[in-house]
Chain A
């Protein structure tokens, strides 16, 4: 149950796009289409942003999109806004009713 690998930080200017990668193995990210993404502002609970690799829950702007290739999933934030500054975590189902999260990526809006 090793954590998925995410970059520690990414940054972009307002209006730009940023992409966060999430690398696992064939036992988690590569083996299932159950990758999800969560946004967390300081002192707050995580917020559900993307599920099943690329689906958006109602209320999440279409500026947020997800994808997967092999053992790596990605979250792209287009049209970056000040409120997008937060920590982002990926998560994958890892089989046998277990889940693994990434270490988190801090998104900074310059």
Chain B
């Protein structure tokens, strides 16, 4: 069974930094692209960043480009999102999501971790 477990969320001041983690199990982590998707309280889902599988590249939504960095360690089955220069509008629940192999869709999601940016 695929499991994705996010951690690292919390309260941070504007301009601050935070690192989110996603521990994966139940599948061959190295083979799959992995994304971060966020959801503002009471609003919709927004794709944030992807780390493609098989040693591929990293890509970002325009709203976080230059401030967020996605990384992964396939030996530890872990995905990270390092967030810096945080703004109030980054406040959201952040989900780790696994891509379905051979398709550009998200077939498994973690339970999410809440990031609140406020002074």
Contacts and interface: CB of A to CB of B under 8 A. Distances in A.
Interface of A: 1, 3, 32, 34, 36, 38, 45-48, 51-52, 57, 89, 91, 93, 96-104
Interface in B80-95: 95
Nearest to A89: B45
Contacts of A3: 44, 46
- What 9 A-B pairs come out closest when comparing CB atoms? A36-B105, A97-B59, A51-B105, A93-B104, A99-B47, A34-B104, A45-B109, A101-B45, A104-B44
The listed residue with most A CB atoms (<10 A of its CB), out of B44, B52, B62, is B44
Given A45-B111, A91-B47, 10 more contacts: A3-B44, A38-B106, A45-B109, A45-B110, A45-B112, A48-B109, A51-B107, A52-B105, A91-B106, A101-B46
A104 to B, nearest CB: 5
Contacts of A100: 47
B11 interface: no
A104 B45 contact: yes
Interface residues of B, number: 26
Contacts of A32: 104
Nearest to A104: B44
Contacts of B37: 101
Nearest to A46: B109
B61 A1 contact: yes
A45 B105 contact: no
Given A1-B62, A32-B104, A46-B95, A97 B47 contact: no
A48 B106 contact: yes
A100 B111 CA distance: 20
B103 interface: yes
A75 to B, nearest CB: 13
Contacts of A102: 44
A87 B25 CA distance: 27
19 contacts: A1-B63, A34-B103, A34-B104, A36-B105, A36-B106, A38-B106, A45-B95, A46-B95, A46-B106, A48-B100, A48-B109, A51-B107, A52-B105, A91-B45, A97-B50, A98-B59, A99-B50, A100-B47, A104-B45
